[in-house]
Chain A
């Protein structure tokens, strides 16, 4: 098998995931939060594909495709929500959106 060892891919994926997770946890703009989520999804996609290649089993790649489709749908909804918030002239800050507090 060509290319780098599977470990490298996993390290990259873990870094991506860490960046995404920190983004979700630390940033306040919903747009950035959404973006960070996408990064996390792509990190998992990367691991799926890497393992699929290593094991010679295409199921992982198929699964990654499915994740991408779902992610696209998710972005559509997420962006839609953000646009809706903006239209209502709400502050685009996730800390302000706390109407679900118990």
Chain B
């Protein structure tokens, strides 16, 4: 069982190392297979671990296994250790399973690229890092996985490194994540001093005895890491730009796995957040704000991947909301279904982009239903799951979250409830706007030109994963049916017990409302589409949304420019005049003093003689006087 978890962790690492070391000795295709198979081996390991845990007694479902001491100083020790429990085993399945499908899909998508081997090495590195993140048995190792997924994300966003936009987006993502890493690390520092350990069990045991300031700061530090990684307000601006990477990368990293790591962290560290409800609620509020803002921005975007990216931010907002009110089971449940349908959406979008030779502007698409019928079905399933139409996967998980907000009650609970419902309306609207613009209506000229006849919709390696995800997005939500059964939320509850539990009545009431709102969104989008106008008609609002609420401009003015200005000012006002010139001044000062002193050296022998005689006289007088 624990061995399965280790295999799960190490297989992708072996894949990454193998591809790197083999270099050009293996073909591109082999590299793809190594990467895909190693990920599926990891999935196998995850299955072994999962079923081992399933079969075990509920009291025996938490295993910690340490390989060796990774870092030590004095009494402080951190092991390379993994923790296998219900939460991590579920995450392992999602990461390696969806990951495997996406890597497999990449073999078709990336076929013919110059640097396919590098791509697959990065992909394997990412899967390893993500598994390290979810399996880590202490905060430091979690932080290591946290940073390494950021690294892999940087490498993959900037994979096409000849494109300036891709490089800039990669740098932006890395730096914003570095801010999150830094606050995360500071939280770890506090934990070391206050609890003496970074192991989950030890920290959670001591949480009760910490001062409220400490707990607040630790929770804020962790939350900082979580919002940076999960692209929540106010550290959200990197995610849309990250769409410069290859589409499978967007599916894997920026939809299914890495960006949801923040949610995982909130759930994993729930005892800390529960000890400071204010910070936990802050997470929920940020999630609600993000889901509204991102949903609104998605209404006006033209890039197919950016629309889906904003949708991802919005959906992660739901998960944050859930984790913030203590509905951990539903947060992870939505994380899982979201991984299915969002990966599906990205991958079918990838099929469209692939088909249209890299075009991503939806204004140049349209009427693709006839040319790409199978892609159309897959995309539609993804959209339906996203909007939360029963019985598709997103319906069950999202409504669980909204119902939990209702069940949480209080001013906060109701506010979140309303926000989540408005979000459902936005979701319906932007999702179907996207669907109609891309697949319905008449074919655009560009689409007609590029519709390769007889070309099919894509190679099998791309289609099979899409089919599998279509099935998962359809039935994947059936593991939780209110009033019937909820094995998944109970399973997660063993590690992170939920603070709120919506009643069946609340559940169905919410479901009805949410579905109705989603359908209203659908009809709005449909009417706008048929009338040939936009969803947002007010030009001022349009402009604000199109500029993503001016966050980029704001951060540019607040942080980047001051940093540059400060750096230039330091160079001009300190480094050059003070540090570098001070030496010149010491030099010229010495020369000047030397010039003065040199005058004594007259060169006249008799002057010297007089000086000596005079000095002798003085000395004699001094000696006599002293005596």
- Seen from chain A, the residues whose Cβ lies within 8 Å of a Cβ on chain B are 21, 24-26, 28, 33, 94-95, 97-102
What does the 1/0 interface line of B589-604 toward A look like (CB < 8 Å)? 0000000011111111
What does the 1/0 interface line of B580-618 toward A look like (CB < 8 Å)? 000000000000000001111111111001100100000
Question: Is there contact, CB below 8 Å, between A98 and B602?
Answer: yes
Question: Is there contact, CB below 8 Å, between A100 and B601?
Answer: yes
Nearest neighbor of A98 in chain B, beta-carbon distance:
B603
Question: Is there contact, CB below 8 Å, between B610 and A25?
Answer: yes
Question: Is there contact, CB below 8 Å, between B603 and A25?
Answer: no
Nearest neighbor of A27 in chain B, beta-carbon distance:
B606
Total CB contacts across the A-B interface at under 8 A: 36
Interface size on B, residues (CB 8 A): 13
With contact pairs A102-B597, A102-B598, A102-B600 given, residues A97 and B613 touching in the complex (Cβ less than 8 Å): no
Question: Is there contact, CB below 8 Å, between B605 and A101?
Answer: no
Interchain CA distance A98-B606 in the complex, whole Å: 11
Residue picked from A24, A97, A99, A102, most chain B C-beta under 10 Å:
A102
Our pick among A94, A100, A101 for the contact of B606 (Cβ within 8 Å) is A94
Interchain CA distance A102-B600 in the complex, whole Å: 7
Interface residues of B in 430-471 (CB under 8 A from A): none
Question: Is there contact, CB below 8 Å, between B603 and A99?
Answer: yes
Q: Give the shortest distance, in Å, between B342 (CB) and chain A (any CB).
A: 84
Residues of A with C-beta under 8 A to B597: 102
With contact pairs A21-B613, A25-B610, A25-B613 given, residues A97 and B598 touching in the complex (Cβ less than 8 Å): no
Question: Is there contact, CB below 8 Å, between B600 and A95?
Answer: no
Nearest neighbor of B616 in chain A, beta-carbon distance:
A21
Residues of A with C-beta under 8 A to B600: 102
Residues of A with C-beta under 8 A to B599: 102
Interchain CA distance A99-B601 in the complex, whole Å: 10
Q: Give the shortest distance, in Å, between A46 (CB) and chain B (any CB).
A: 18
Question: Is there contact, CB below 8 Å, between B606 and A25?
Answer: yes
Nearest neighbor of B596 in chain A, beta-carbon distance:
A102
Nearest neighbor of A28 in chain B, beta-carbon distance:
B606
Residues of A with C-beta under 8 A to B613: 21, 25
Q: Give the shortest distance, in Å, between A83 (CB) and chain B (any CB).
A: 18
Residues of A with C-beta under 8 A to B601: 100-102
Nearest neighbor of A30 in chain B, beta-carbon distance:
B605
Interchain CA distance A98-B337 in the complex, whole Å: 99
Question: Is there contact, CB below 8 Å, between B604 and A98?
Answer: yes
- Seen from chain B, the residues whose Cβ lies within 8 Å of a Cβ on chain A are 597-606, 609-610, 613
Q: Give the shortest distance, in Å, between A6 (CB) and chain B (any CB).
A: 19
Residue picked from A24, A26, A28, most chain B C-beta under 10 Å:
A24
Interchain CA distance A94-B613 in the complex, whole Å: 18
Interchain CA distance A100-B613 in the complex, whole Å: 20
Nearest neighbor of B602 in chain A, beta-carbon distance:
A101
List 12 A-B residue pairs with CB atoms under 8 Å apart, sorted by A's residue number. Answer: A21-B613, A24-B606, A25-B609, A94-B605, A94-B606, A95-B605, A98-B602, A98-B604, A100-B601, A101-B602, A102-B597, A102-B601
Question: Is there contact, CB below 8 Å, between B610 and A101?
Answer: no
Residues of B with C-beta under 8 A to A99: 603
Q: Give the shortest distance, in Å, between B350 (CB) and chain A (any CB).
A: 83
Q: Give the shortest distance, in Å, between A92 (CB) and chain B (any CB).
A: 12
Question: Is there contact, CB below 8 Å, between A95 and B604?
Answer: yes
Q: Give the shortest distance, in Å, between A55 (CB) and chain B (any CB).
A: 22
Nearest neighbor of B605 in chain A, beta-carbon distance:
A94
Q: Give the shortest distance, in Å, between A25 (CB) and chain B (any CB).
A: 5
Nearest neighbor of A21 in chain B, beta-carbon distance:
B613
Interchain CA distance A97-B609 in the complex, whole Å: 14
Q: Give the shortest distance, in Å, between B601 (CB) and chain A (any CB).
A: 3
Question: Is there contact, CB below 8 Å, between B603 and A100?
Answer: yes
14 more A-B contacts (CB under 8 A) besides A94-B605, A102-B600?
A21-B609, A25-B610, A25-B613, A28-B606, A94-B604, A97-B603, A97-B605, A98-B602, A99-B603, A100-B601, A100-B603, A101-B601, A101-B602, A101-B604
Interchain CA distance A24-B604 in the complex, whole Å: 12
Question: Is there contact, CB below 8 Å, between B605 and A33?
Answer: yes
Question: Is there contact, CB below 8 Å, between B609 and A24?
Answer: yes
Residues of B with C-beta under 8 A to A100: 601, 603
Interchain CA distance A100-B600 in the complex, whole Å: 11
Q: Give the shortest distance, in Å, between A18 (CB) and chain B (any CB).
A: 10
Interchain CA distance A24-B609 in the complex, whole Å: 7
Residues of A with C-beta under 8 A to B603: 97-102
Interchain CA distance A29-B599 in the complex, whole Å: 24
Interchain CA distance A97-B603 in the complex, whole Å: 7
Interchain CA distance A21-B612 in the complex, whole Å: 10
Q: Give the shortest distance, in Å, between B260 (CB) and chain A (any CB).
A: 79
Nearest neighbor of A22 in chain B, beta-carbon distance:
B613
- Report, nearest first, the 4 A-B pairs whose CB atoms are least far apart: A102-B598, A98-B603, A102-B601, A101-B603
Q: Give the shortest distance, in Å, between B247 (CB) and chain A (any CB).
A: 80
Residue picked from B598, B604, B610, most chain A C-beta under 10 Å:
B604
Residues of B with C-beta under 8 A to A26: 606
Interchain CA distance A51-B604 in the complex, whole Å: 35
Residues of B with C-beta under 8 A to A25: 606, 609-610, 613
Residues of B with C-beta under 8 A to A21: 609, 613
Interchain CA distance A39-B610 in the complex, whole Å: 17
Q: Give the shortest distance, in Å, between B10 (CB) and chain A (any CB).
A: 77
Q: Give the shortest distance, in Å, between B614 (CB) and chain A (any CB).
A: 10
Interchain CA distance A102-B604 in the complex, whole Å: 11
Q: Give the shortest distance, in Å, between B329 (CB) and chain A (any CB).
A: 91
Nearest neighbor of B600 in chain A, beta-carbon distance:
A102
